[in-house]
Amino acid sequence: MPETSRFIPLSFTRRSEEEMLQRARMFATLLCQRRSVRAFSPEPIPMNVIRSCLQTAGCAPSGANKQPWHFVVITDPATKKRIREAAENEEEAFYTRRAPRTWLEDLAPLGTGPEKPFLTEAPCLIAIFAQRYRVDAQGTKHKHYYVSESVGIATGMLITALHYSGLACLTHTPSPMRFLNEILQRPSYEHPFLLLVVGYPAPGATVPDIRRKRLEEFVTFMEPPESS
């Protein structure tokens, strides 16, 4: 029989509608200023901030509370160099052979290419791994559920925490990314999910002049019909 669930009181602060709206608008304004940065300063960043942001990520909801993620924080220059070399090998193949023409056309306005100098210039990389299952001390496998969804939510919370704390970041997904398992000595049942580049923007850093969709373009409200 499964263990009987134990419940504790919920810690929740009920706020007035006025305060909720104010907080929601302030948070939206702050997060809408977040941009992906590709030019980083080599200046070191406070690791206690990184620890706190990772603690935030670890609070994300997950399927059956299995918490199917593992984060590897890389600040060692030699390891960053190995990651850059491996990533650029994959990116070179992507840009010259793998990517269809339409994909490259969509990427062109962003100014991306196979060279990834930010992987060695930024002071910190965070490799995020998704665990399809867990292996206990006896070697028994324990299945995880909704792994991609759970790790995606945790990653989003981490990105949000980093921006809120005053750091810039970039999501980087060379494909395939299995080289991260070897370089970072992670087990085969962990799948590389994303590589997060973290630091301060380089002086004079620029970002593409892009347009965000208006709320009406990506949200549908299914409201009750008006009473006659």
Cβ burial 107-139 (10 Å sphere, 16+ → b, else e): eeeeeeeeebebbbbbbbbbbbbbbeeeeeeee
Amino acid at 1: M
pLDDT at 124 over 80: yes
**How confident is the model over 56-91, as pLDDT tens digits?**
999 999 999 999 999 999 999 999 999 999 999 999
Instruction: Name the CATH superfamily, with its identifier, for domain 35-203.
Output: NADH Oxidase (3.40.109.10)
Percent above pLDDT 70 for the chain:
97
Domain ranges of the chain: 35-203
| Predicted local confidence at residue 1, as pLDDT | 43
Helix/strand/coil (H/E/C) assignment for every residue in 91-103: HHHHHHHHCCHHH
> What is the pLDDT of the chain when averaged over all its residues?
95
Residue 225 has pLDDT above 90, yes or no: no
Report pLDDT for 5: 77
C-beta neighbour count of 12 within 10 angstroms? 6
- Please check the confidence at residue 3 and state whether its pLDDT lies above 80: no
Task: Note if the bond before 123 is cis, omega within 30 degrees.
Answer: no
Q: How confident is the model at residue 17 (pLDDT cuts 50, 70, 90)?
A: very high
Q: What is the pLDDT of residues 175-205, one digit of tens each?
A: 899 999 999 999 999 999 999 999 999 999 9
